[in-house]
Amino acid sequence: MFELHASKVANLKNDVLSGLTVALALVPEAVAFAFVAGVEPLVGLYAAFMVGLITSIFGGRPGMISGATGAMAVVMVSLVAIHGVEYLFATVVLTGLLQILAGIFKLGKFIRLVPHPVMLGFVNGLAIVIFLAQLGQFKVTDENGVLAWMQGSQMLTMVGLIVLTMAIIHFLPKLTKAVPSSLVAIVVVTLLVQSLDLDARTVVDFVRDMTNDPMASIAGGLPQFNIPNVPFNLETLQVILPFALILAAIGLIESLLTLTLIDELTGTRGQGNKECVAQGAANTVTGFFGGMGGCAMIGQSMINVNSGGRGRMSGVTAALALLGFILFASSLIEQIPLAALVGVMFIVVIGTFEWSSIRILGKVPKADAFVIILVSAVTVATDLAIAVVVGVIVSALVFAWEHAKHVIVHRSIDGKGSTVYDVSGPLFFGSVSSFLEQFDMENDSDDVIVEFKNSRVADHSAIEAIDTLAERYISRGKKMHLRHLSKECTQLLTKAGSLVEINVIEDPEYHIATDKLG
């Protein structure tokens, strides 16, 4: 799916250098997401450090980067505004516990049910979201304290530095792959700005614009353990539980989809359920140490993979480097031009967007093309989790509609004079009407056999349809036999009792999902 020429082999040097690159890109993003959530910059930075460190060590996908994310931040903002930051910390703890339970009960396997068109729409919409998020870096605070677009030479400098960054990232690997091209680009552009004293916005300018504080900084100390200062009663649970459920769902969906994408890019397989537990543990710890929680970050994960990061050490390095920036090197990191980081993210956008999906829109079924566009649009308009849920629902409805037409009943007479109906195709809520219409009860013999060898009874609607069919034959004084019906179905067929004879000798067993690959 992705053409980023990523090596599949883990390498300690590559992991460390890639982790440093990711850490530099994490700073403005963590600050921005903290601003979105309505909390202090350090709350976002601490979350990026703790969530990134714990998931890198214990998670199910080496090389995947986690931290504070915008998808979760937009849910947090109303909670913080109404109840305060302490309720946010309590919510993050509960979110983590819910995610741990999801991993324990092996719910991560269900990410395999996400259709490919939904995945394409997900990555395309996410690429657009990442691109749009970078446009905010082209704004500065005017004399009235309002953010406005850059003008004149400042805009030209910004664009020029972005182009230079992207050119270095693109062309340097053709000369050498000894060091990540993204890291080289950031260093070169920073040195160029400092040596030529160019009028370019830096990380500290961004932090001060976000906080509206001319003295703001990313400097801070170690995160401190603190039990959230909220009443431990049912009323508090009623406040935080709805937010925790939404955050847990968003975090797991985004993390598991990112895991799937990294799997495809690296040609390896991650462990979804293990990642659920690690994400949950990370959020639980973060809530007790003053962080806003988080999940997998596809942008930073793509930077990491494209820079050669494969092993757990890449994520560990990114997290520890970020903490080092907060504790010791804030004055240096704050001087990095935003243009360099924007250039890195633009390369991520180009690599993330599935350009081939545009070419195949006219070649795939119209329903699939619609799902790709729909998921992309909903991702941009709302958030990733809602977009994926909408895409899965639409895909499922399309599947149901198409397969409702595919149940075919063939009538014949066997050697004993019994009427045999051979059912082909899935029997479920969408196909039961067509199924019942294909029986000629008046002209059938007194002994009727319904053969399900080529059919799958899928749900309760199908069970009810079979029961209805039995009652119709009974009302006409005829007896109906069911042959090769699934074991699950025979256990549910209780209404007809002894009036429906079931041949269970050759009945197969069906299994929809297993935990072997979870």
At CA 440, angle to CA 434 and CA 446, rounded to 5?
130
CATH architecture of the domain 407-503 equals 2-Layer Sandwich (3.30)
Mean pLDDT of 385-396: 88
Question: Which residues are bridge partners to 480 per DSSP?
Answer: 448, 500
Q: Which residue has the higher pLDDT, 107 or 513?
A: 107
Alpha-carbon gap, residue 270 to 260, rounded angstroms: 8
Please check whether residue 291 is in contact with residue 336, taking contact to mean a CB–CB distance below 8 angstroms.
Answer: no
pLDDT recorded at residue 511 = 47
Cα 267 to its chain centre, rounded Å, is 19
Please report the pLDDT score of residue 514 as a whole number: 45
Reported as a single tens digit per residue, the pLDDT across 406-418 is 889 999 998 888 9
Confidence of residue 510 (pLDDT cuts 50, 70, 90): very low
Q: Is the pLDDT of residue 375 over 90?
A: yes
More confident residue, 146 or 155: 155
Among the residue ranges 44-48, 287-291, 385-389, 509-513, the one predicted with the least confidence is 509-513
Write down the pLDDT at residue 518: 47
Question: Boundaries of CATH 3.30.750.24 in the chain?
Answer: 407-503
Residue 490 pLDDT level (bands cut at 50, 70, 90):
low
Mean pLDDT of 488-500: 55
pLDDT at residue 425 tops 50 = yes
Q: How confident is the model over 74-99, as pLDDT tens digits?
A: 789 889 989 999 999 999 999 999 99
Between these two residues, 507 and 206, which has the higher pLDDT value?
Answer: 206
* pLDDT, greater one: 215 or 505: 215
- Alpha-carbon span 85 to 292, nearest angstrom: 9
Going by the DSSP 8-state scheme, the letter that residue 482 receives in this structure is E
Residues in contact with 60: Cβ distance below 8 Å, sequence separation at least 6, in sequence order: 108, 259, 270, 271, 272, 273, 274, 275, 276, 278
At 493, the pLDDT band (50, 70, 90 cuts) reads low
Dihedral, 67, 39, 46, 253 alpha carbons, nearest 10 = -20
- Model pTM score: 0.75
Mean pLDDT of the chain: 87
Alpha helices in 307-431 (DSSP H): 312-327, 330-333, 338-352, 356-360, 366-381, 384-403
State the Cα–Cα distance between residues 124 and 377, nearest whole angstrom.
9
Q: 100-142: per-residue pLDDT in tens?
A: 999 999 988 887 778 889 989 988 988 898 888 888 888 887 7
Is pLDDT of 238 > 90?
Answer: yes
Give residue for tokens 């199924």: 435
Proportion of the chain above pLDDT 90, given as a percent: 48
Separation of alpha carbons 38 and 21, rounded Å: 27
Does the pLDDT value for residue 325 go beyond 80?
Answer: yes
CA angle 137, 316, 256 (to 5 degrees): 75
Name the CA radius of gyration of the chain, rounded. 28
Place 226 in a pLDDT band, splitting at 50, 70 and 90.
Answer: very high
- Contacts of 95 by beta carbon, 8 Å cutoff, 6+ apart: 243, 244, 247, 248, 251, 280, 283, 287, 293
**Residues 459-483: pLDDT tens digits?**
878 888 888 888 899 899 888 888 8
pLDDT for 210: 74
Q: 158-167, 296-305, 326-335 — which one is most confidently predicted on average?
A: 158-167
